[in-house]
Structure 1
Amino acid sequence: MTASYVIKNFETPVLILASSDDAELECLSARLTHFNEAARTATYVWNIKGHKGSQKRIRSFDLRQGKELNQVDFKEKDGPSGTVTVPYSDMKNCFIGTFPTVLYGGQCMMWVRKEVEDNVPQNCIDEFEDICDVEVSEYNHDLCQDNDDEHEESRQGAP
């Protein structure tokens, strides 16, 4: 598994589980806006919903292949930079990323394809529990469903 392969196959991931509670991560979704397989670079835009008093905003991260095949180096304009390790992906429905402390205090996160956000495969949950030890649900269908329209609107403006 390479990080580039994971990026290419997850154009609109949704955060389902994290290793600790952070209101800003609740209902978090992302959108791949740029991908250059030859250069091994990409850009994801994170849509922060603004739940529980957190600020609603967009964060954009430029990515490139890291030192290891399962690593991605990221840089946010005027923000943090670091390396995300992807210890697991089933290459179809989910991937797990361990983020550095400069981004949300070093979260371990499970992202899934939008198509399975309401029916996450058990193997994904099991792998998250094995790798991350603890889980905090960041996705709730009733709370997050109103964000689907925002997500689709942001996709329409994408190249």
Structure 2
Amino acid sequence: MASETNTILTMTRKGGPRGPPEGRKEEEPWQDPGSDESLQRTLDLVLEVELSDESDNEPDFIYGDIVHDTEADEPIALAVVNVPGLIALEWEFEDGETLADRNPKCPDDDDVIVVTPIGVLEDYMPDWDTREAAIPLEQLVEDEVPFAPFPSLRLVRVEDSHLRD
């Protein structure tokens, strides 16, 4: 058993038809390329990647986020009121066009985000920023609250929702 722990690991180098490069042996002992410092650096990088992966799992838009339309000449504050779980190709307007048809710069499978101007939302529901759930689309239609669907790629979040930690 003691002889197993003293064994030196070797790696065979294949030199092709001419043999190994000059000055090299067919087999050379393996040497630890790093130290505790490089191990710590690797662990730090792994932790950094794990932390960035966790933030990647956070949705881009949730109820209560304040957003701007990136294509507007003078953007206004819009509040996300619903994220229906549809893609742009699935959102159809009364004239038969889809959200994807009206936004050719965005991919057909981009998520639909429903927004309303923040002033309209505050008039309609003064306590909207304490609410914990999205406003159902049927309720917005029934209450005649103006809203608009957007592909997510046209929106930029300028203020986080009260629901984000």
TM bucket normalised to smaller: under 0.3
Q: TM-score, normalised by structure 2?
A: 0.22
* Larger Rg over CA atoms: 2
The TM-score, its normalising length taken from structure 1, stands at 0.23
